[in-house]
């Protein structure tokens, strides 16, 4: 099996997000970046499929220079090689122009299945994989919590989460894009020998020229949507503590709920 | 700029990508697998043995030993970073790792026969087998050369008599590396679990390293095959050679403990208010935090330098003594300051402080007490040994 994993490097989920003064993005100084947590499930599942059926696992990632660290982490977990879409022209992409670039990198590759996280925890769009599958003209199954690839590698059965905790079971012919959800597996830690081997594994860097796309198809220029502004929710104001006898308190509370909070 | 980070001098920049990745991976493991349950383990005096296999799968047991025996063959700096991160969780889990790596696998690798290495090292590296190291006796701690445990050759066997005290992993070990005198010379022997005449007794009532197994080993006419002698061991130099490796890791480990105490203290100082202000706004509290960060930074630099010297083949055991002595004593001071800064919460297992503080009392003592390392340095400086 030729297994691809689409992976994105994102700010650590514990990062305290600060918006830049212009409101156009976040302050990136001092941010620790990690592999998108949902992509960890995808890497783990890819490694499990490889362990069962043989083959290679290739990590495909679009991102600035620093994204190599996340690719190396996946290689240290056991993936075989990386493809890194890295060019200033790819910056500022939306889901569509990201999918466009990923599709360009993936088209020349041979693949039986593509895995990825159900969403990246930075912008939380959850749209790249659907657009990518469309551009590659393959099926996609989203929010997958269990995956069984048929022995012949031609199809797979995936369970996905639907409302109310119910499960939907879908059989899909391969190649297909599988968007992974928490619960699918427990991602392994990179091992020390894995980390030592990772630095010798190949990462193919693809810039704009190599992608075969033009500058206005990718990044900010190729984006279908433009982000006008970022802002944080207003800080919560301190609560009010009412004092007095229970009866007075109830009257005061109702008054406040009606007049100030307009809740009743 | 209020920072909880302990990397004040950008020491990360002195590490390679690979070293940082190992550090971050072990840190993730400790955050997810050790810290959430370790206070309970400590309270119940249970060692988290289920984590041994996981450490084995991560390839972080016997990190510096050669690949041909199923080990990673990594550097001393990487080994140090692993110990630092493990002890950021708890000294108990780090003790497990140092004993298995440096006091069991290292002597088998260094003083063992080819068959012994092939037989033991891969399983120990995977965490499928557990080992312990018996040097200290009840009456011979700082002066192990005075040991009473004896081995006598009898046909195709050795017969061991004597006992060992304060032995980490004793009750859970599949194999004990036991140091005993054979015709007056200290030699190493491998004693397998279940060998008639060999018993391990759990040491109870410890107020320190409660999440680690500590035992007494007793040998009563314990007969082992002659091939269980570590053939290349000879003299006190052999066990001391192992201790040098383990102590080096302890220096990093103690610094990890100190980092945990410091990070908890910074958080506490900002959150805790007294006199209508965060206690972090009081000069006396700031003084504590400033001293903590300075000593942590100094220890990190000292440890890293000693590690690099080891990797370059220039390391000397006196370097290790300086690092061990410095890191364990400063870590203990930092833990005590953190304890104070946490007020009454500082004595509760709800916070990590008292656990680290109590653990560090052992770490300060074992593998050569603080004073013994001072004397080793004193000897180095003056040329005059002051031990006896
Ligand atoms: C939790 C724990 C785990 C341990 N695990 C192991 C293990 O796995 N394997 C093992 O072999 N041992 C182990 N030990 C034993 C440890 O190495 C010894 O406790 C240590 O070497 C000190 O020996 P002692 O306790 O006999 O103290 P002593 O040697 O009796 O020392 C008592 C005090 O006297 C001081 N002192 C001694 N001699 C001198 C001198 N010449 N000049 C000045 N001061 C001196 C010491 O510094 C110390 O303050 C462990 C200990 C603990 C607490
Ligand atoms: C086992 C135990 C039994 C106890 N029994 C009782 C009891 O029977 N009755 C009772 O009333 N209380 C009792 N206490 C509470 C004890 O008196 C308090 O813990 C103590 O007064 C410290 O208060 P705190 O824990 O809130 O720490 P905090 O006041 O929050 O202090 C935290 C840290 O901040 C420092 N700090 C605080 N203010 C300042 C400042 N202005 N300038 C510089 N530094 C400052 C402190 O020195 C300390 O290092 C008990 C505590 C313990 C641990």
pLDDT digits (tens, 9 = 90+) for B82-130: 999 999 999 999 999 999 999 999 999 999 999 999 999 999 999 999 9
Report residue B334 as tokens: 């930092």
Q: Distance (Å) from the C-alpha of residue A68 to the closest C-alpha of chain B?
A: 11
Nearest-atom index, ligand 2, CA of B279: 34
What is the 3-state secondary structure of A82-116?
Answer: EEEECCHHHCCCCHHHHHHHHHHHHCCCCCCEEEE
Shortest-distance Cα residue to atom 4 of ligand 2: B344
Residue of B nearest to A34 (CA): B24
Nearest-ligand number for the alpha carbon of B131 = 1
Shortest-distance Cα residue to atom 31 of ligand 1: B142
Q: Distance from the CA of B288 to the center of ligand 2, in angstroms?
A: 16
Residue with tokens 């007075």: A248
| Structure confidence by residue, pLDDT tens digits, A119-155 | 999 888 889 999 999 999 999 999 999 999 999 999 9
- Pocket lining for ligand 2, CB < 6 angstroms: B 272, 274-275, 279, 282, 284-285, 340-341, 343-344, 347
Q: Quote the pLDDT of residue A163.
A: 87
Q: Suggest the residue from A195, A197, A201 to mutate for an interface test with chain B (most B CBs closer than 10 A).
A: A195
Using CB atoms within 10 A of its CB, is residue B176 exposed (0-12), middle (13-18) or buried (19+)? buried
Using CB atoms within 10 A of its CB, is residue A157 exposed (0-12), middle (13-18) or buried (19+)? middle
The C-alpha atoms of residue B191 and residue B132 are separated, in whole angstroms, by: 10
Domain B3-130 in CATH 3.30.420.40: no
Q: What is the DSSP string of B170-209?
A: GGG-SEEEEEEEETTEEEEEEEETT-TTEEEEE----SSS
CB distance B166 to ligand 1 below 6 Å: yes
Using CB atoms within 10 A of its CB, is residue B238 exposed (0-12), middle (13-18) or buried (19+)? buried
Q: Quote the pLDDT of residue A161.
A: 86
Q: Quote the pLDDT of residue A226.
A: 87
Shortest-distance Cα residue to atom 6 of ligand 2: B344
Residue with tokens 């305290």: A16
Answer yes or no: is pLDDT of B2 > 70.
no
**Overall CATH class of domain A2-222:** alpha beta
Contact between A47 and A57 (Cβ < 8 Å): yes
Q: What residues does A141 pair with on adjacent strands? A: A178
Shortest-distance Cα residue to atom 50 of ligand 1: B166
| Structure confidence by residue, pLDDT tens digits, B3-40 | 457 899 999 999 999 999 999 999 999 999 999 999 99
Nearest-atom index, ligand 1, CA of B212: 1
| Domain definitions of chain A by residue range | 2-222, 237-264
Intervals of CATH 1.20.140.10 along chain B: 237-382
Answer yes or no: is pLDDT of B221 > 50.
yes
Put simply, the answer to whether B59 touches A192 (Cβ < 8 Å) is yes
Using CB atoms within 10 A of its CB, is residue B256 exposed (0-12), middle (13-18) or buried (19+)? buried
Q: Quote the pLDDT of residue B4.
A: 58
Report residue B23 as tokens: 């550090």
Q: What is the CA radius of gyration of chain A?
A: 23
The C-alpha atoms of residue B31 and residue A14 are separated, in whole angstroms, by: 13
Q: What is the DSSP string of chain A?
A: -EEEEE--EEE-TT----B-TTSSSB--TT--EEE-HHHHHHHHHHHHHHHHH--EEEEEEE--TTHHHHHHHHHHHT--EEEEE--GGGTT--HHHHHHHHHHHHTTS--SEEEEESS-TTT----HHHHHHHHHT-EEEEEEEEEEE-TTSSEEEEEEE-GGG-EEEEEEESSEEEEE-TTS--PPPPPHHHHHHHTTS-EEEE-HHHHT--GGGSTTTT-S-------PPPPPPPP----S-HHHHHHHHHHHHHHTS---
Q: Distance (Å) from the C-alpha of residue B57 to the closest C-alpha of chain A?
A: 7
Q: Distance from the CA of B250 to the center of ligand 1, in angstroms?
A: 15
- Of the candidates A72, A73, A189, the beta carbon closest to that of B29 is on A189
Maximum C-alpha span of chain A: 76
- Of the candidates A73, A193, A199, the beta carbon closest to that of B59 is on A193
- Compute the 3-state secondary structure of chain B and give helix, strand, coil in percent, each to the nearest 5: 55, 15, 25
Residue of B nearest to A199 (CA): B18
> In angstroms, how far is the first alpha carbon of chain A from the final one?
60
Residue with tokens 């700029």: B1
- The separation between CA A119 and the C-alpha centre of its own chain, rounded to angstroms, equals 4
Residue of A nearest to B78 (CA): A192
Q: Quote the pLDDT of residue A239.
A: 83
Q: Distance from the CA of B333 to the center of ligand 1, in angstroms?
A: 20
Residue with tokens 């004793």: B170
Mean pLDDT of each 10-residue bin along chain A, 264 residues long: 96 87 85 93 97 96 95 97 96 92 95 95 89 95 95 94 90 96 95 95 96 93 89 83 90 90 84
Nearest-ligand number for the alpha carbon of B167 = 1
Shortest-distance Cα residue to atom 53 of ligand 2: B344
| Structure confidence by residue, pLDDT tens digits, B321-366 | 999 999 999 999 999 999 999 999 999 999 999 999 999 999 999 9
Using CB atoms within 10 A of its CB, is residue B96 exposed (0-12), middle (13-18) or buried (19+)? buried
Put simply, the answer to whether A191 touches B59 (Cβ < 8 Å) is yes
The rounded mean pLDDT for chain B is 97
Residue of B nearest to A66 (CA): B17
Nearest-ligand number for the alpha carbon of B276 = 2
Q: What is the CA radius of gyration of chain B?
A: 21
Contact between B355 and B249 (Cβ < 8 Å): no
ipTM of the complex: 0.91
Query: Residue A175, preceding bond cis, omega within 30 degrees?
Result: yes
The answer, for B60 touching chain A at a CB cutoff of 8 Å, is yes
Put simply, the answer to whether A190 touches B18 (Cβ < 8 Å) is no
The answer, for B28 touching chain A at a CB cutoff of 8 Å, is yes
Q: What is the DSSP string of B206-245?
A: -SSSTTS-EEEEEEEEEEEEGGGB-TT--STHHHHHHHHH
Q: A-chain residues within 8 Å CB-CB of B263? A: none
* Of A109, A125, A143, the residue nearest A41 (C-alpha): A143
Residues 6+ apart with CB under 8 A from B121: B62, B65, B69, B70, B71, B105, B108, B109
| Backbone torsion region of residue B52, taken as left when φ is above 0, otherwise alpha when ψ lies between -120 and 50, otherwise beta | alpha
The C-alpha atoms of residue B94 and residue B60 are separated, in whole angstroms, by: 11
Report residue B314 as tokens: 């220039």
Torsions phi, psi of A240, nearest 5? -105, 135
Q: A-chain residues within 8 Å CB-CB of B18? A: 195-196, 198-199
Put simply, the answer to whether B17 touches A199 (Cβ < 8 Å) is yes
Q: What residues does B274 pair with on adjacent strands? A: B277
Strands B175-182 and B131-134: parallel
| Structure confidence by residue, pLDDT tens digits, B236-276 | 999 999 999 999 999 999 999 999 999 999 999 999 999 99
Shortest-distance Cα residue to atom 1 of ligand 2: B344
Q: Which DSSP letter does residue B58 get? A: T
The helix/strand/coil state of B61 is coil
Instruction: Taking each helix axis as running N to C, give the angle between helix B237-271 and helix B283-311, from 0 to 180 degrees, rounded to the nearest 10.
Output: 150
A50, B59, B183 from B223: Cα distances, Å: 48, 34, 17
Average pLDDT on B188-212 reads 98
Q: B-chain residues within 8 Å CB-CB of A191? A: 57-60
Q: Distance from the CA of B284 to the center of ligand 2, in angstroms?
A: 15
Residue of A nearest to B32 (CA): A189
- The separation between CA B132 and the C-alpha centre of its own chain, rounded to angstroms, equals 12
Indicate which residue of B19, B87, B263, B367 is catalytic.
B367
Fold of B237-382: Butyryl-CoA Dehydrogenase, subunit A; domain 3 (1.20.140)
Give the residue, B180 or A242, on which the prediction is more confident: B180
The C-alpha atoms of residue A134 and residue A143 are separated, in whole angstroms, by: 17
For domain B132-228, the CATH architecture is: Beta Barrel (2.40)
């Amino acid at each position: 099996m030729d297994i691809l994993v689409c992976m994105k490097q994102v700010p650590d989920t514990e990062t305290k997000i600060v918006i830049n003064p212009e409101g156009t993005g976040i302050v990136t100084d001092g941010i620790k970046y990690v592999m998108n947590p949902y992509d960890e499930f995808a890497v783990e599942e890819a490694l499990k499929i490889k362990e069962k059926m043989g083959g290679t696992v290739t990590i495909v990632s679009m991102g600035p220079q620093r994204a190599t660290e996340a690719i190396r982490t996946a290689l240290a977990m056991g993936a075989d090689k990386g493809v890194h879409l890295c060019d200033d022209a790819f910056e500022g992409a939306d889901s569509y122009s990201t999918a466009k670039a990923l599709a360009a990198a993936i088209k020349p590759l041979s693949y039986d299945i593509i895995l990825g996280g159900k969403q990246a925890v930075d912008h939380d769009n959850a749209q790249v994989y659907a657009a990518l599958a469309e551009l590659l003209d393959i099926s996609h199954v989203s929010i997958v919590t269990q995956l069984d690839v048929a022995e012949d590698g031609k199809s797979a059965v995936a369970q996905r989460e639907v409302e109310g905790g119910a499960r939907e079971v879908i059989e899909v012919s391969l190649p297909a894009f599988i968007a992974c959800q928490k619960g699918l597996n427990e991602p392994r830690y990179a091992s020390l020998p894995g980390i030592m081997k990772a630095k010798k594994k190949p990462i193919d860097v693809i810039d704009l020229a190599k992608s075969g796309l033009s500058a206005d198809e990718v990044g900010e220029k190729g984006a279908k949507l433009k982000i006008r502004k970022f802002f944080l929710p207003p800080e919560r104001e301190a609560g009010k503590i009412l004092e007095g006898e229970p009866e007075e308190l109830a009257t005061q509370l109702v008054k406040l709920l009606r007049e100030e909070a307009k809740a009743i | 700029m209020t920072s909880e980070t302990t990397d004040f001098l950008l020491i990360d920049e002195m590490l390679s990508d690979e070293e940082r990745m190992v550090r971050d991976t072990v840190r993730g493991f400790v955050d997810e697998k050790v810290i959430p349950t370790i206070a309970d383990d400590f309270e119940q005096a249970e060692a988290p043995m289920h984590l041994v296999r996981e450490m084995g799968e991560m390839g972080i047991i016997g990190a510096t030993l050669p690949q041909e025996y199923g080990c990673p063959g990594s550097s001393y700096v990487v080994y140090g970073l692993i110990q630092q991160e493990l002890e950021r969780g708890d000294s108990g889990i780090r003790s497990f790792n140092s004993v298995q790596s440096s006091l069991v696998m290292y002597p088998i690798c260094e003083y063992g026969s080819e068959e012994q290495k092939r037989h033991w090292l891969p399983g120990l590296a995977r965490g499928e087998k557990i080992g312990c190291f018996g040097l200290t006796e009840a009456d011979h701690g700082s002066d192990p050369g005075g040991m009473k445990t004896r081995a006598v050759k009898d046909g195709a066997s050795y017969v061991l008599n004597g006992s060992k005290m304060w032995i980490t992993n004793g009750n859970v070990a599949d194999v004990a590396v036991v140091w005993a005198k054979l015709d007056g010379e200290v030699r190493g022997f491998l004693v397998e679990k279940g060998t008639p005449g060999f018993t391990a007794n759990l040491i109870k009532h410890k107020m320190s390293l409660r999440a680690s197994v500590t035992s007494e080993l007793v040998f009563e006419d314990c007969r082992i095959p002659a091939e269980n002698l570590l053939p290349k061991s000879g003299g006190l130099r052999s066990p001391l050679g192992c201790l040098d490796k383990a102590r080096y890791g302890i220096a990093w480990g103690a610094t990890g403990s100190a980092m945990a105490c410091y990070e908890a203290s910074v958080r506490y100082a900002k959150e805790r208010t007294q006199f209508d202000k965060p206690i972090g706004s009081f000069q006396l509290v700031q003084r504590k935090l400033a001293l903590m960060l300075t000593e942590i930074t100094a220890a990190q630099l000292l440890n890293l330098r000693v590690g690099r010297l080891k990797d370059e083949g220039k390391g000397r055991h006196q370097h290790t003594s300086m690092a061990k002595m410095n890191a364990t004593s400063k870590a203990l001071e930092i833990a005590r300051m953190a304890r104070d800064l946490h007020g009454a919460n500082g004595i509760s297992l709800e916070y990590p402080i008292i656990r680290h503080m109590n653990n560090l009392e052992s770490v300060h003592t074992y593998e050569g007490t603080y004073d013994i390392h001072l004397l080793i340095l004193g000897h180095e400086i003056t040329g005059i040994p002051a031990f006896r």
